[in-house]
Structure 1
Amino acid sequence: FNWTDSRIVEWEKFAELAKYEPESQKPTVKALLIVAYSVIIITSLFGNMLVCHVVLKNKRMHSATSLFIVNLAVSDIMITLLNTPFTLVRFVNSTWIFGKAMCHISRFVQYCSLHVSTLTLTAIALDRHQVILHPLKQRMSLTKGALSISVIWLLATCFSLPHAIYQKLFQYNY
């Protein structure tokens, strides 16, 4: 590797930049992150719990499609409670402070929620497709909807386990 004067200057500029604290260490950035994440967490919990409450209390809304919507809300609540706060703390502290087990759990929840949401949206699309294509046929029953949701969670768990198992925790000191 041939070190020319221009490469040495580039390296020195890079090394100089590395001396400064990361963006997330600045107090204003930390404050903005805390406020933004807090608003997101509160809004998510309120909105998704409201969806669950309305669907469960309103008998007219007891349908397979409504079950799918509740499933999306449950998936969102799961990531809001079991991933988002930990992500905020990681950004604010610039490191993971919750240990190896929580690292695996947080990653599992993140991917499981992603897969549940994606598979649930797919199930909703397939259900809507059937309703539009065959309007005179009977709609999906609550039992079939609940069975579909069970399969969705089983698949999401299987898809997410490799991410949780093989997740590595690296410590970087700034």
Structure 2
Amino acid sequence: MTTEGENLTLVSEFILLGISENPKQQQLLFILFLSMYLVTGLGNLLIILAITTDTRLHNPMYFFLANLACMDICFTTTTIPKMLVNHITGHKGISYAGCLTQTFFFVLFGSIDSFLLGAMAYDRYAAICHPLHYAMSMTPQLCILLVSASWTAALVNALTHTLSLTHLSFCTNNQVPNFFCDLSDILKLACSDTFLNYAMVNTVGTLPIFFPFVGILVSYMLIVAAVMRIPSTKGKWKAFSTCGSHLSVVSLFYGTIIGIYFNPTSSHMAQKDTVAAVMYTIVTPMLNPFIYSFRNNDLKGPWEPSSRSTKNSQLQ
């Protein structure tokens, strides 16, 4: 649907092409994604419920995990319900305002996820490298400050990109080769100058990925150095095992994002980009509760905290 301007046809609706045009495949995809969405919501809600109701889980790492679980629910809710509605109605359109709104919340919650993973890495560094000072360094005030800073930085990032989109003109090409309004896909449809937009994507847009990722790398370099100084093999294994869940989630999250947005050849592989988008928008948030709960005894059963084993009793 379009409206005529003076010298330009402006798009008032975008068409989300989705993952498949085959009706039979669309039915299977609807059932699959609906199931994954319900599992994601239920799994993350159970994580939040367990952490909020069990006072033994009221420590920094579980605080970050509860926030991460909440963001995963919001992250998937940004894209999946609209995709499911499109499957039911057979209408693939999304309004211009709806597309910008979806882009805003997608960037917002995705950025918060990235910052939270960085905060969790810092928590692991403090617990393993400075266990005697852990309680004094990871105070509730610091945890709240890190989460608040994550929200603030993510909000600025999302507003920057969304507001810059409002200055672009979109012509007759309104087909988005994805199941949601991804920022990079929308920019490719613009028929006005996008130099400033891409400049912001390559600068401001990379900061929520770059800084947490570098922080995670540095944290784990220091963790590895500290663990290698532990004399016993059993002690080394216990120290490394506390980071296993976090490393698994980090690998899933950053691996797919880097593969899509930092791969110079990705623009020539739209289908692969869509599959990768499914990985970090749907699969990763769904797997996070399983990764943490299956590998973590604190979420599977009761435990008794000990001041001398803080670094081994904290969340992975």
TM-score norm. by structure 1 comes to: 0.76
Kindly state the Cα deviation for residue 91 of structure 1 after the two structures are TM-superposed: 7.0
Give ranges in structure 2 of 5+ residues lacking alignment: 1-17, 176-316
1:96 — aligned with what? 93
Report if the CA contact (8 A) 1:24-1:30 is conserved: yes
Cα deviation per residue 1:67-119 (whole Å; 9 max; x = unaligned)? 1101111111112222222244457857333x122211111111112111111
Matched, 1:43 2:39: yes
Q: 2:109 aligns with which of 107, 113, 118?
A: 113
1:150 — aligned with what? 148
TM-score norm. by structure 2 comes to: 0.44
SS in 2 for 1:101: helix
Distance 1:133 1:122, change over 3 A: same
Q: 1:125 aligns with which of 102, 121, 128?
A: 121
Greater fraction helix? 1
Task: Give, in whole Å, the separation in 2 of the partners of 1:113 and 1:23.
Answer: 22
2:157 — aligned with what? 159
1:8 — aligned with what? none
Greater fraction strand? 2
Task: Give, in whole Å, the separation in 1 of the partners of 2:140 and 2:106.
Answer: 28
Task: Give, in whole Å, the separation in 1 of the partners of 2:93 and 2:107.
Answer: 18
* Aligned residues between the structures: 151
2:250 — aligned with what? none
2:63 — aligned with what? 67
Give ranges in structure 1 of 5+ residues lacking alignment: 1-21
Matched, 1:141 2:139: yes
Distance 1:91 1:119, change over 3 A: farther
2:13 — aligned with what? none
**Bigger radius of gyration among the two:** 1
Distance 1:109 1:163, change over 3 A: same
Kindly state the Cα deviation for residue 23 of structure 1 after the two structures are TM-superposed: 7.2
SS in 2 for 1:138: helix
Cα deviation per residue 1:114-141 (whole Å; 9 max; x = unaligned)? 1111110111101111221111103312
After TM superposition, the runs of 4+ consecutive aligned structure 1 residues lying more than 3 A away are 87-95, 167-170
SS in 1 for 2:93: coil
2:25 — aligned with what? 29
Q: 1:83 aligns with which of 71, 79, 86?
A: 79
Task: Give, in whole Å, the separation in 1 of the partners of 2:72 and 2:124.
Answer: 22
Report if the CA contact (8 A) 1:24-1:94 is conserved: no
Task: Give, in whole Å, the separation in 2 of the partners of 1:117 and 1:65.
Answer: 14
Give the root-mean-square deviation of aligned CA atoms: 2.5
Task: Give, in whole Å, the separation in 2 of the partners of 1:23 and 1:78.
Answer: 21
Kindly state the Cα deviation for residue 146 of structure 1 after the two structures are TM-superposed: 1.3
Task: Give, in whole Å, the separation in 2 of the partners of 1:91 and 1:152.
Answer: 34
Task: Give, in whole Å, the separation in 2 of the partners of 1:23 and 1:149.
Answer: 34
Larger mean CA deviation between 49-58 and 155-164 belongs to 155-164
Task: Give, in whole Å, the separation in 2 of the partners of 1:64 and 1:157.
Answer: 23
Task: Give, in whole Å, the separation in 2 of the partners of 1:160 and 1:90.
Answer: 25
